[in-house]
Chains A and B, each alone.
Chain A
Amino acid sequence: MKLKIVGITKKYHNLTALDHIDLELHNGIYGLIGPNGAGKSTLMRLLAGELRPTSGNIFWNGKDIFKLDEKYKRYIGYLPQTFGFYKEFTGYEMLCYIGLLKSKDNIKKIRAQAKQLLNMLELSDKADAMTGKYSGGMKQRLGIAQALIGNPRILIMDEPTAGLDPMQRIYFKNLLKKYSSQKIIIVSTHIMSDVQELADHLIFLKKGRVVLDKSRDAALEESADYENLYMRYYAENIPSGETKHGIK
C-alpha cells in the first residue's frame, strides 16, 4: 500500500499553506511535526480528501484520490482536531452509523467491531449514553474509535492524544503500534514525546515546506536526541526566555 504526494501546493488567497510537497508513505507510523501554521492540518485534510490542492496530486496505489473520491474516503479513518458528535446519538449508535457509512461489512459485524472498539477505548460503560453527556476525554476516545471503525487502511490523526490521561495515552500508543504493520498511520502532534514513542518515520513541516523526511533512526543520526533534533529545525519558533526543556 502506498500513498504518494506529488508536488502538492495549497493556497488560501494570498497565503501559501503548503508549498510543493512531495512524500511517499507506506505502512507504519509517521509523526508529522511542526509549529502552528506549518501546514500540518492542511496536509492532513488534503490526505483525508477534505480539501483539494491548488496544484499537485495525491495517489493511492497509483490512483488519483480525487478521482476515487468516495471510494478513497472509505479507506480513511480520520480524527480531526475538533470533532463534533451528534449529541443525541449514543456512542454505540454513532460508531455503528459511521461504520455503516465507511464499511461494506454487514451490520452484525459492524456492531461487533463497535463494541470491541468501545471496550478497547474504555467506553463500554458509556456505550448507551448519549454523546452529549461525554466528557472531553471520552469524546476524544470516541473520536479515535470512529477513526478506527471499518478497518481503514489509512489512519490520519490530528493531535490524537489531546484530552487523554497518561494511562490512556500509553494505551492509545500501544493500540496504534499494534495496527502499524497493516496501515499507513499519520499522527500530527506538537508533543515530541508522543513521536518519540510512536513514530517509525518523522516528517517536519516548516512554513508549508517539508524540511525533514526521514526514518526515525536516520533522523536521530543527525542529532543527539529528539529535543536537539527539534531545536535544529525550529529554534526560532521557541519564544525567547524559554529553555529548550520548555518544548513539550
Chain B
Amino acid sequence: MQYKKFFALTAIVMIVLNGCSSQKTENLSEISFDGLDSIEREEINYMLPTRFASDGKDIFFIDSPTGMVYRFDLSTKEATINCNNPVCSHDSDSCTAYAERDISGIRRENDEVYLLGNQIYKISRNQKEEIGKGHYGTSNSKIMFGGYIAYPEEESIIVENIESGNIVQRFEDVVPYTQGNFYYKGALWYITEDLELVRLDIKAGEKRVVEEIGVTRASVYEDFIYYIQVDQQTGDNQLIRYSEGEDSKTVVEDNVFYYNIKGDTLYYTTWPDRDFYYRPLYESSGENEAVQLFKGLDLLIWSFPEYDDLLVNLSEDYYTYYILDTETNTIDYDHPLKVEQELTQ
C-alpha cells in the first residue's frame, strides 16, 4: 500500500515537473555541428568577455561606465551611441543602445553582431532585435555558436538551441571563470573557477581537463589554443600554445599578463612591469627578440577580421581608444577615438 502511494506521488511529481518545464532535450544524434567547423578561425579569435565586435561595417562596443552600446566609425574616428532617437533617455530595453549593465557581452556570429545578456539581441546601426527565448542568466561566460548558446546555470553549463529553446546538452560541475571561453571544433572550452582549462565535447557530453591549474586567460587562433598559465612555484606566467590534434604544448612566451594575436603577430603585456611588446607568433623568442612598444602601460587590445589594425585602450582611461597600426606598430595618439562623456550617464 505504501509502495502504491509512493509510486502515485512520484508519478504526480514527474507530471508536474514535466508540465512546468518548457524546455525539451533534443536528440543529439540528429544534430550536426559539422558546419560550425567551417567558421573562419579569425571570427572566433575573441578574448572574453568581449565588449567589441564588428559586423564588417561598424565596430560595436559596450561602453564600460554606462553599459550602453556604442559604435565606432573608423573613418571619422567617432563613437556614436547606437540610438538615433533624439528624445530617448537610453534607460530602458526599448532603446537600441540599452544593454543590461554588468551582464552583457557582444559577440560576432556569421557577420552579425549580437548582444548577449539574459536575452539575446541582434544589433546593427540603430537597430536591436530580440532573438531566442531569453533567460540565459547573468553570467558573462556565455558562448554563442551556429544557432546555439552555452550558458552557466548554477554549477553546470547548458547548451541550448536558440530558436527552439530546447536544451541539447548539459555539463555538470563546471563553474566558469570569464576570461577564456569559446567554441572550437565541436567543443566548448572554458576556464573554470579552479583555473583549469577544460574541453566540453558537445556531442559526447564529456569533460576533459586539458590543463589542471593556473590558467588565467585563453583563446583560439588558427588551429591552436592559446592560454596563459601561472606557475606559482616559479612565479612565471607563460603563454602556452596547445595543439589539440597532437595533444602537444609549447611555451610561446615566458611572461605574459594579457595578450592578443593579429596577423601572426603576438601582442602582449608583462607582469608586474606592464610593458607592452610584440613579436612573431610562430618563431621562438630566442631567435626573435620581442620588441618593446611601450613601457609601463596597461593596454587592452582588440582585433577585428575586417581591419588590419588593432584597437587599443589604456586601462586607466575609460573613454579614449587608439588605433595601433600593425604595419608600423605605432599608436596614432594624434587621432584618438573618443567616447563623448556627455553622452554617458
Contacts and interface: CB of A to CB of B under 8 A. Distances in A.
Contact of B140 (A82, A86, A130): A130
A130 B272 contact: no
A67 interface: no
Contacts of A93: 177-179
Contacts of A70: 235
A26 to B, nearest CB: 25
Interface string A86-118: 111110010011001101100110010000000
B271 A101 contact: yes
Interface in B279-314: 298, 300, 313-314
Contacts of B314: 84
A133 B64 CA distance: 5
A82 B316 contact: yes
Nearest to B195: A107
A132 interface: yes
Size category of the binding interface on chain A: 20 to 34
A101 B230 contact: yes
A89 B102 contact: no
Interface string B37-64: 0000000000111110000000000001
A133 B101 contact: yes
A164 interface: no
Nearest to B67: A133
A90 to B, nearest CB: 6
A196 to B, nearest CB: 30
B65 A132 contact: yes
Nearest to B313: A87
A142 to B, nearest CB: 12
B214 interface: yes
Contacts of B258: 86
B272 A84 contact: no
Contacts of A177: none
B74 to A, nearest CB: 21
A87 B139 CA distance: 16
A104 B67 CA distance: 36
B23 interface: no
B193 A111 contact: yes
A60 interface: no
Interface residues of B, number: 39
Nearest to A82: B316
Taking each of A83, A90, A97, A108, which has the highest tally of chain B beta carbons within 10 Å of its own beta carbon?
A97
Interface in B191-240: 193-195, 213-214, 216, 230, 232-233, 235, 237
A105 to B, nearest CB: 8
Given A87-B315, A88-B300, A100 B216 contact: yes
Contacts of B48: 88
A104 B65 contact: no
A43 B210 CA distance: 44
A101 B195 CA distance: 13
B333 interface: no
Contacts of B313: 87
A100 B47 CA distance: 20
A85 interface: yes
B316 A84 contact: yes
A86 B314 CA distance: 9
Contact of A130 (B64, B177, B274): B64
A89 B179 contact: yes
Interface in B260-277: 271-274
Interface in A10-61: 50
Contacts of B315: 84-87
A73 interface: yes
Interface string A59-79: 000000000001001100000
A212 interface: no
A130 B100 CA distance: 13
A129 interface: yes
Contact of A103 (B178, B232, B300): B232
B173 to A, nearest CB: 15
A36 B6 CA distance: 79
A17 to B, nearest CB: 17
Nearest to A49: B272
A108 B194 contact: yes
B215 to A, nearest CB: 10
A222 interface: no
A28 B274 CA distance: 30
A82 B67 CA distance: 23
A197 interface: no
A117 to B, nearest CB: 16
Interface in B131-145: 138-140
A88 B51 contact: yes
Nearest to A48: B272
Interface of A: 50, 70, 73-74, 82-90, 93, 96-97, 100-101, 103-104, 107-108, 111, 128-130, 132-133
Interface of B: 47-51, 64-65, 67, 101-102, 138-140, 177-179, 193-195, 213-214, 216, 230, 232-233, 235, 237, 258, 271-274, 298, 300, 313-316, 318
Given A50-B272, A84-B315, 14 more contacts: A84-B298, A86-B315, A87-B300, A88-B300, A90-B140, A90-B178, A96-B177, A107-B214, A108-B194, A128-B102, A129-B102, A132-B64, A132-B318, A133-B101
